[in-house]
Structure formats: C-alpha cells, structure tokens
Amino acid sequence: MVSSLINVDVHITEVTPLFGPSEGGTLLTIKGTGFYDSTGKKFKFESSLGEREMDAVWNRKEKCFTCKAPPKSWFIRNRGSSTGIMEDSSETRIKIRLTLNGQDWIWIGYFDHYDPIVERMSYDLDFGEGLTEEEKQAKLIKREEIPIPPENPEELKKYQAELEKKLEEDKELFESLYQRCGTIFYIHGRDFRDSNVNLSLTFRQ
C-alpha cells in the first residue's frame, strides 16, 4: 500500500526481463507512468532468505528506471554459504519494490533466478530446402522430445559423460559452420524457458 501522495499516480506497466542467472548482473528495465527522477530512488529485492536494496538508475530519454539484479548469494550471505542452502533456495522467487521518496515502496513484481544447462548443439546445413515458408516455420518451432536421464548412478554418469563429449565435438564444428549462410543451429539442454525476448548466439574468435 502506498501511503504517500507523491507516489499515488505511479503505475508499473512493464518489467523486463522477469528472470536471469543466479550470478546476477541481469539488467532490469521498469517502465510505467508517473515516473520522475529523485534522490531517494532505490530498488528493494526481497526473498524468504533476506533482502537487499540497490540504487535505481533513471533513464531520462526513455523515462524508465533500470537496475542490475543482485546474485542469489547476496540473499544467503548472513545465513551461510553452504551448497545445501543454495539448492534449497533454487525455487525462491525475488520480490521487487521501488521507492522514489526513500520511504514508501511501490510493488513491481517477481524476479526468478535460474540457470539453464546446455547439453549439446546441433545444426542443419540445408534447413528448409524444398519446404514452403509455412513448413519451414513449423519445422523451426517444433519441439523435440526431451530424453529422460537414467536413474541408475553408473548409467547416469556415463550418460552425462557422453553428453559432454558430444558438446565438445559440436563446438569444434561450430567454429567453421557459422560462416555458412543459411545454417540453422539448435541448442539442446535443460531448464530453458519460453521468453518474448529473442535469443542470440554469439561467435567469438
């Protein structure tokens, strides 16, 4: 609840992105109406493990606020840093609030820490050859069945080793394949999320 009249007309319209890696650093952009620059502007990140305040940056041109999301380790700093705590907090959602006067906090929304795992990459040198545009699009967004890792510890270890070996082999191929126009790349892994933000793949030499 906002008790100060100075914040009554502030309304949040967009928060992007809504999730990012556990090491932090994700640049959050908060848009809305009634925003203005102030000396008391700050963001508060809260979870069941603790809370932290961070400075808000005012984007004068876009009339919005930005802030880098803190790492998950910040929230457990005062409760130890054991692996067990980190694993137990894997599903902890972060509440975000904004203050413009240093006293009253405006509800922004939730932010999630998540860490996708890339298991392998593949490619299609002649993607869509002989297909209509509709068929190409259908092929592009088609979801493949996700293999279920074996439960047996020994088989699981072998399964993971094979994935790592395949990933290394694919990386070597990618060093030259990315130069060929029309090649479609596929990234296979776990804990991926749907997003309205376009994904990008960067090649560096």
CATH number at residue 86: 2.60.40.10
Q: Which of 95, 113, 131 is the last residue of a domain?
A: 113
In a domain, 94, yes or no: yes
Same domain, 45 and 106: yes
Same domain, 140 and 169: yes
pLDDT score for 150: 83
Same domain, 177 and 86: no
SS3 assignment for the chain: CCCCHHHCCCEEEEEECCEECCCCCCEEEEEEECCCCCCECEEEEEECCEEEEEECEEECCCCEEEEECCCHHHHHCECECCHHHHHHCCCCEEEEEEECECCCCEEEEEEEECCCEEEEEEEECCCCCCCCHHHHHHHHHCCCCCCCCCCCHHHHHHHHHHHHHHHHHHHHHHHHHCCCCCCEEEEEEECCCCCCCCCCCCCCC
Domain count, the chain: 2
pLDDT score for 51: 84
d(CA 25, CA 115): 13
Q: What are phi and psi of 182, to 5 degrees?
A: 100, -5
Q: Are strands 117-124 and 184-190 parallel, antiparallel or unpaired?
A: antiparallel
In a domain, 204, yes or no: no
Same domain, 15 and 89: yes
In a domain, 131, yes or no: yes
Same domain, 62 and 80: yes
Same domain, 79 and 179: no
The residue whose two tokens read 């910040």 is 74
Same domain, 12 and 31: yes
For the record, the structure tokens of 26 come out as 């994700």
In a domain, 177, yes or no: yes
In a domain, 87, yes or no: yes
- What is the mean pLDDT, run by run of 10 residues, along the chain of 205 residues? 49 88 89 90 87 90 91 67 44 84 90 80 68 75 68 87 78 59 69 65 57
- pTM exceeds cut of 0.85: no
Same domain, 152 and 63: no
Same domain, 107 and 10: yes
Which structural domain, as residue segments, surrounds residue 54?
A: 5-113
Q: Which of 87, 113, 139 is the last residue of a domain?
A: 113
Same domain, 106 and 121: no
pLDDT score for 199: 59
Q: Which of 113, 139, 156 is the last residue of a domain?
A: 113
The radius of gyration of the chain's CA atoms, rounded to the nearest angstrom, is 22
pLDDT score for 24: 87
pLDDT score for 192: 75
Same domain, 151 and 62: no
Same domain, 84 and 160: no
